[in-house]
Amino acid sequence: MASSRVPLIKTDTEAQSLADKLEMSAAEIGLTVRTTNCLEERGIFTVADLLNCTREDLLAITNFGEKTLKEVYEALEGVGFYRTPKQATSVKKSSPPTQPR
């Protein structure tokens, strides 16, 4: 009979790896000095801090625009954190009212 349990050592290692990634500084994930300085001025020092920020939070930082946001997203992806795709919202266009004939 095969065991379906994950070895404890493996889960401990994965948990430690995740904890290590969350504690990495902005500079450690490859962000530029300029970006790191912008984040640190707002009290964002670690990957965990970054993951707790919304897109709007980041864009509200002085001198932090779309290019810098892209840099942050790419750096986070580089250490294994990916954004969830936004659900497409379809707006149904209604046809204009017809005139009675």
40-82: pLDDT as tens digits: 999 999 999 999 999 999 999 999 999 999 999 999 999 999 8
Per-residue pLDDT for 2 more than 90?
no
Residues 57, 72: Cα–Cα separation, whole Å: 13
> Quick one: how far is CA 101 from the chain centroid?
56
Dihedrals phi, psi of 29, to nearest 5 degrees: -90, 5
Model-wide pTM > 0.85: no
Instruction: Provide CATH code, domain 13-78.
Output: 1.10.150.20
H helix runs in 1-101, sequence order: 8-22, 33-41, 47-51, 55-59, 66-78
Letter string b/e over residues 13-47, b meaning 16 or more CB atoms within 10 A of that residue's CB: eeeeeeeebeebebbebebeeebbebbeeeebbbb
End-to-end CA distance of the chain: give it in Å, rounded. Answer: 77
Structural domain boundaries in the chain: 13-78
Q: Which residue has the higher pLDDT, 49 or 86?
A: 49
